Copies of this chain bind each other. A is one copy, B any other.
Amino acid sequence: MDLARHEEYVSPFTARYVSPEMSRLFSPQFKVSTFRKLWTALAQAERKLGLAITDQQIEELKQHIDHIDFAVIHSYEQRFRHDVMAHIHAYADLCPTAKPIIHLGATSSYVTDNSDLIQLKAALTLLLHKQVQAIRHLASFAKTFAEAPCLAYTHFQPAQPTTIGKRACLWLQDLLLDAKELERAINTLPFLGAKGATGTQASFLALLDNDSLKVKELETLIAAQFGFTKVIPIASQTYTRKIDLQILNLLESFGASIHKMATDIRLLAHEGEITESFDDEQVGSSAMPYKRNPIYAERICGLARFVMSLAQNGAYTTATQWLERSLDDSSNRRLTIPEAFLGTDAILNTLLHLLTHLHVDRNKALSHLEAQIPHLAMEPLLMAAAKRGEDRQAVHETLRRLSGKPIDQIVKELNLDPKQFHPQALTGLASKQVHDYLDTEVDSFLKIYAHIGDSYTHVAI
């Protein structure tokens, strides 16, 4: 937090929640330097394809990629009221020799949309890596507590025994689904390429001797420089805004997963089965200092709803684009896309903190379970009786009548074997499910990302 800037709005993202690495991806520096890299790559590819561009011009462009004077840009923008024209002039000022060939054949979207895609790819990758860390923590948690019995709740009413690890796998499976979707999004994200003012590539075709193969090569050369293997085949002035929509929906979907998980943790904090650890000096409440509130889980919920709400923008912006492009996407995307990523980053930072500061009280979980044993045994009782051939509905009726009685009386009245009704015997395949799931689906995923250590940490305030 820049402590000097207190007379104007400061986004809580930068003031509180986001990591420097994500913040940087949505910084002016990242944007402008990417614009310049794109202009340089364009010139290089055009040179390779025979246009009269010199080595010296390329060198000049390269040397000024990171040398950005934002005041100059700002002043050009006020004059032209055109973002990209301002950047062209500012770059040209630094590169007098290359000036005539900067942006050659291109339209604004060449730099804006390609740099958006580069940014999206980098930001998705960063999120994926943080998800990997979260999944690793949660997988370890699930393994540790795979056999630890606890009470499962349906309708937030005592239902059946399960294990703490099994419940963690409910969260884990959702997170893994999200991570794999992100993985796919990263792998399939296309490059816009060099499509011209309305997508016909007319300007590049004219520049490149009316040779369509050269136009195609131009695109491939540039895309490769930025790590993209696929160039989108059909574009208008811009890439289809469906791509934004799909990405925002993935972040929304992750938001929903994590809101559910954090809500569960808040409910379990009420039970005292899972709590967030407190720092020595941490204060629970100004009026109630004794409180141990699940504040990180609550923060995640609030952030998740914010991220979820943003997805709507992707849908309606796509829906209302007119013909070869309308600019009503611009101000919306400037806000929506960064904030969806910053919000998700904020969630993950908080989640990584939370996952490394969770305390599980196994005994409390067990005691809650034991208190419900007479109830919990109902299903096995029903099964055991049914297995002996008794009418299911009749047994059902009997059980309803005995509801609330001690387990011994019930077992006796139904002539069943008491050994079957130990707590441990009642968790079914819960622990086996955990181990199977970790061994098959989770470990193979984590192996791919073994190189992502615990690199991301962010002490959220």
Contact = CB atoms under 8 A, between A and B. Distances in A.
A152 B289 contact: no
Contact of A380 (B17, B203, B324): B203
A293 to B, nearest CB: 4
Contact of A428 (B68, B100, B201, B281): B201
B74 A1 contact: yes
Specify how many copies of this chain sit in the oligomer: 4
Given A200-B152, A322-B267, A330-B299, A289 B104 contact: no
A160 B315 contact: no
A306 B287 contact: no
A321, A324, A346 pick with most chain B CB within 10 angstroms: A324
A202 B380 contact: yes
A379 B85 contact: no
A450 interface: no
A208 to B, nearest CB: 10
A189 to B, nearest CB: 13
Nearest to A376: B288
A388 to B, nearest CB: 9
Contacts of A270: 153, 156-157
A403 B303 CA distance: 31
A384 to B, nearest CB: 7
A285 B312 CA distance: 29
B289 A156 contact: no
A455 interface: no
Interface string A264-304: 10110110000000010111111111111111001101111
Query: At the interface, is chain A mostly helix, strand, loop or mixed?
Result: helix
A317 B379 CA distance: 28
Nearest to A323: B153
A313 B318 contact: no
Given A88-B286, A155-B294, A206-B384, A166 B233 contact: no
B237 A245 contact: no
A66 to B, nearest CB: 11
A11 B157 CA distance: 30
A170 B239 CA distance: 10
Nearest to A332: B302
A305 B287 contact: no
Interface string A423-457: 00011111011001100110000000000000000
A291 B279 CA distance: 40
Contacts of A40: none
Contact of A331 (B253, B306, B316): B306
A133 interface: no
Interface in A307-351: 308-336, 338-339, 342-343, 346
A256 B266 contact: no
A47 B257 CA distance: 38
A110 to B, nearest CB: 9
Contact of A299 (B293, B304, B331): B331
14 contacts: A81-B279, A103-B286, A105-B386, A154-B285, A156-B323, A159-B198, A196-B428, A197-B285, A200-B427, A242-B256, A256-B316, A298-B330, A311-B315, A320-B320
Given A169-B234, A203-B382, 19 more contacts: A6-B29, A9-B26, A10-B14, A12-B331, A77-B461, A84-B286, A100-B389, A154-B197, A154-B237, A200-B429, A202-B426, A205-B428, A206-B383, A206-B384, A233-B437, A242-B256, A253-B315, A266-B328, A305-B332
